[in-house]
Structure 1
Amino acid sequence: MKKLKKYIDFRLVGILSLVYSVFVIIYSSKNAYLRIHFNRNTDWGYFIFGNVLDWFLITVFMLFIAISTKYLIIKKIKFIYIVLFHLFFSFFIGAFTIGISWAVEFFTMPNMSHKFSLSDLVVSYVRLIDLHFLIYLSLVTIIYMYYYFKKTQESKLQTVQLQEQLSKSQLKFLQSQMHPHFLFNTINGIHSLLDINLEKSKTMLVDLSDLLRNVLEKKDQNQIELQEELDILKKYIHIKKTRFSDQLTFSLDVQDGLENVLVPNMILQPIVENATKHGYSEEHKTIAIYIAIKKENSRLVIKIENTGKPIVKSLAKLLKDGNGLNNINERLKTLYGLDYELKIYNQSNRVITEITFPLQYAISEITN
């Protein structure tokens, strides 16, 4: 019985039963109208009983066909055998319904047994053979359409799940690539201070320990709340300012109500790192960084401006040459598909980086 259950789809049986019920109602109504119109004497009790019995027998027969069809699909039977199977039962359905009806009527209405000669049964079978064939063909078509759409939906769901798994794997890889890069640059900065200012080096190590603890707590999260991202950034800025002292100034302007907006984990730190790393030159010994974050319609806009050496490469070239920037772009693409913008350009003696993506709030904020 357990083995049989996996071949029974009660939803499909319900659909077949409903479709055939509609057919029986239309067919019976037509026959009833014709009998009344031509003033034929009709035993209405027998007429109704016959139609109900016919509906029941066809439903039982189609349950068998639905189970058999699923078995053929699961076992991947050759197409030619499937065609022969359905061709046989398309002619057998008439013999089945007429034979069972004859047997039921014979035992329940013995006074009508004179109507049940073999030749009458053959005539009934031949008279309805085309109708039964079309009924069978229609119901089998519904069965195969049902399984086709069901398989299509399952395939779509599997595709979505695989894409989600792939995206998560890709994000984990990108984050694992980003963290050592960030750590190496910070340690390299501490190393450069060791021979110049030991106290500052010790302070930077303590700050780095605190920052790494914060970063590692969020390492498995693809998106974090903006307020958490800003906490990480502020600690990173503090390390940078310890090294560069008055050479680096930083200002932040965040629109009210955006604290719980979700942003990609460590999206700001690599851009600030690029500003301090590539902005310094003999002509630009001080750098000011301005970060503005605001909402425009249903999108979050992050604008980072820094003074210093202007960029001379195109965005495509920068993405190709820079690990940090390319990492940001790949993570944005993985999270938002094509629904994001990343722009870097010079304007009014400043390098401007703009990132735009859909506005999403954390679940905690939505609940509140």
Structure 2
Amino acid sequence: MNNEISYFTGVLGIYIRWCTWQRIGYLVVVGFFSGLMVVQTEIADALIRGEIGLTWQPWVATYSSVISFIIVSPFLIYSCELWPFGKAHVIKTTIKLALLYIPITLCFITIMLILRNSIHLMIDGTLFDSWDLIDRYIYEFPKALTIYLIFIFVTYTKINYDHSQREQLNAANLQNELHTIRMQTLRSQLQPHFLFNTLNLISSTVYQDADKADSIIARLGDLLRYSLASEQKPFVTFKEELQAMQSYLEISQLRFDERMALEIAISPATKLVLIPTMLLQPLLENAVKYGIEPSNEIGKIILESTLKNGLLEIKITNPLRQRTQQQESFGIGLQNTKDRLKLLYQEQASVSLESNHHDQITLTLILPAQYLENTHE
């Protein structure tokens, strides 16, 4: 008994929630055009039978059926939503829907007959027909089966479609969350890595040259401020990134003095292109680590950028001191850069290393050229 009360309470609740103006309007439109096609058929059949005097009767007969089914349809929709139709429930749900056909159809016929007879009484003072009421129910009962089955099919199709859309949306949201977490993890790995190396540099110079250590600390502060300010910005312009990296390069030059030469050739067309924040830092760090640090000879680091066919190309060239180590062990900085670009651009970005004349190695980054809105040089 409690189950029946719970079911009918749920039916009433879903009926109230379901009957919004938008849904009612949708059913009215669908019912109107469906009924219109049926009415035309009824009128044509009547003319063939010679019932030329029929005018409003086919309209009453058809639209009383349409309105009646609209009234009972929320109960059927609620039942379809309540009873899943998957492989594990197909037999049980089929039995339930077969049994539900009885009360739904009885309600549908009852409402339909009330509407038909009421309208006939108001128009010409007669009943819809002279049939016995039981005969009319017996006649109408199997006729409703086709509409019932079509409605169930459409309803379950809509339910499955909505469920599929929600799953796709949830999967997309989950993928975005995982993507964000992954990006944050990569960035959080880069910052301690760079900070550790810089602090070691400060430690090694503070007692030998206090002024140099002060300069390094000042530039480190500039770089950390940039990193913190861009914490919530996944992308910055190439110009902003380059300005911040000047601090890093100056730190390196303070460390190696005349051993490190620097050449920067930046195309003006690339300055407003958006790139991932802190993209250049680990790459420049690798250039210093593998190109300058291992040798007492003078080495030059070259940073270039060009714009070709909608692609930003960045090249970082440094002396090739330890070819095997440089090519086989990229370290956390370069590996994280590859991972970041893979997450952000999929196959549209690339990272490559190429040795030149056996004494230099060039790292080439190629990214899609993207800009802020209304900002393009």
Percent identity among equivalent residues?
Answer: 22
Q: Is the 8 A contact 1:7 1:67 kept in 2?
A: no
> 306-315 or 24-33, which moves further after superposition?
306-315
> How far did 1:318 drift?
2.8
Amino acid at match of 1:365: T
> How far did 1:135 drift?
1.2
Shift in alpha-carbon separation, 1:260–1:238, aligned structure 2, 3 A: same
User: How far apart, CA to CA, are the structure 1 residues paired with 2:96 and 2:218?
Assistant: 78
TM-score, normalised by the number of residues in structure 1:
0.85
- After superposition, the C-alpha distances for 1:164-191 in whole angstroms (9 at most, x for unaligned) are 1111111111111111110111121222
- After superposition, the C-alpha distances for 1:201-223 in whole angstroms (9 at most, x for unaligned) are 22222222232222222234322
Q: Is the 8 A contact 1:13 1:63 kept in 2?
A: no
Q: 2:63 aligns with which of 26, 43, 52?
A: 52
Q: Is the 8 A contact 1:35 1:42 kept in 2?
A: no
> 337-346 or 192-201, which moves further after superposition?
192-201
Q: Is the 8 A contact 1:16 1:62 kept in 2?
A: no
> Is 1:341 aligned to 2:341, yes or no?
no
1:150-299 paired onto structure 2 within 5 Å: 150-280=162-292, 285-299=297-311
Consecutive unaligned residues in structure 2, runs of 5 or more: 1-8
User: How far apart, CA to CA, are the structure 2 residues paired with 1:135 and 1:194?
Assistant: 88
Q: Which residue of 2 aligns with 1:324?
A: 333
Q: Helix, strand or coil: the match of 2:18?
A: coil
- After superposition, the C-alpha distances for 1:119-146 in whole angstroms (9 at most, x for unaligned) are 54145225xx1x4212111111111111
User: How far apart, CA to CA, are the structure 2 residues paired with 1:93 and 1:42?
Assistant: 34
Q: Is the 8 A contact 1:229 1:265 kept in 2?
A: yes
Q: Helix, strand or coil: the match of 1:211?
A: helix
Shift in alpha-carbon separation, 1:249–1:3, aligned structure 2, 3 A: farther
Q: Is the 8 A contact 2:265 2:303 kept in 1?
A: yes
Q: 1:84 aligns with which of 95, 104, 119?
A: 95
Shift in alpha-carbon separation, 1:107–1:334, aligned structure 2, 3 A: closer
User: How far apart, CA to CA, are the structure 2 residues paired with 1:6 and 1:268?
Assistant: 60
> Is 1:360 aligned to 2:370, yes or no?
yes
User: How far apart, CA to CA, are the structure 2 residues paired with 1:293 and 1:3?
Assistant: 65
Consecutive unaligned residues in structure 1, runs of 5 or more: none
User: How far apart, CA to CA, are the structure 2 residues paired with 1:247 and 1:93?
Assistant: 90
Q: Is the 8 A contact 1:175 1:219 kept in 2?
A: no
Q: Is the 8 A contact 2:64 2:115 kept in 1?
A: no
**Runs of at least 4 residues of structure 1 off by over 4 A?**
9-20, 77-81, 91-94, 281-284
Q: Is the 8 A contact 1:308 1:350 kept in 2?
A: yes
User: How far apart, CA to CA, are the structure 1 residues paired with 2:128 and 2:226?
Assistant: 90
Shift in alpha-carbon separation, 1:14–1:314, aligned structure 2, 3 A: farther
Amino acid at match of 2:355: N
Shift in alpha-carbon separation, 1:47–1:351, aligned structure 2, 3 A: same
> How far did 1:13 drift?
5.7
Q: Helix, strand or coil: the match of 1:160?
A: helix
Shift in alpha-carbon separation, 1:114–1:25, aligned structure 2, 3 A: closer
Q: Is the 8 A contact 1:95 1:125 kept in 2?
A: no
Amino acid at match of 1:26: M
TM-score, normalised by the number of residues in structure 2:
0.84
Shift in alpha-carbon separation, 1:105–1:204, aligned structure 2, 3 A: closer
